[in-house]
Amino acid sequence: MLDYLSMLLYFCCRPEPAQGFTRALSLVIGHTLHYKHTGPLTQSVPYMEGAGVEECDADEEVESEEAGVSVDDVLRVLNHGVDHVSSRLNRFQTNHRSTDELKEELLKVFKELGFKGEEKIPFSTLSQHPFVQDLMEASSQYLLPDIHKTFQAQQTEDLRSFST
């Protein structure tokens, strides 16, 4: 039997991992989510029209009430296709995190934001927390591979081996 949702999560890959993460979370909760991604250059600008990159399609309507996200929803997205989440999640730690450790960290984030662990939190609020932003940026399972770069690296390697 095919787990259709799990299969669809593989199609959420985007050139930016945070965009892929947002698409995957949208799929898991069944509502379209929008994430305004700000890079290092746009974070230093207090307000600038169009400074962020918003993950949404032009023909989608913005919903009047934002869908909530639970700890379990985030964990399902993070654990899709991987056994462990990369240590890049926390810049100061070098080991992999287990699902239980991630759940504890997410519960702390929910508490910091004024929500209980079993509650659903608006994605616009949750996605602004630095820990969650790190999770989204480090979710390499939703990063679309750069095939051109891979082929270029292979060609360079072939040329080196040919010349020796």
Whats the size of the chain, residue-wise?
164
Q: What is the pLDDT of residue 104?
A: 94
For the chain, which ranges sit under pLDDT 50? Answer: 40-64, 84-95
Q: Cα-flanking dihedrals φ and ψ of residue 127, to 5°? A: -70, -10
Q: What is the pLDDT of residue 151?
A: 76
pTM score of the predicted model: 0.68
Give one DSSP letter per residue of the chain, joined into a string. ---HHHHHHGGG-BSSHHHHHHHHHHHHHTS----EE--HHHHTSS--TT-SEE---TTPPPPSSPPEE-HHHHHHHHTTT-SSB-GGGSTT--SPBPHHHHHHHHHHHHHHTT--TTS-EEHHHHTTSHHHHHHHHH-GGGBPP-HHHHHHHHHHHHHHHHH-
Encode pLDDT of 62-81 as tens digits: 444 678 999 999 999 998 87
Cβ neighbours of 38 (radius 10 Å): 15
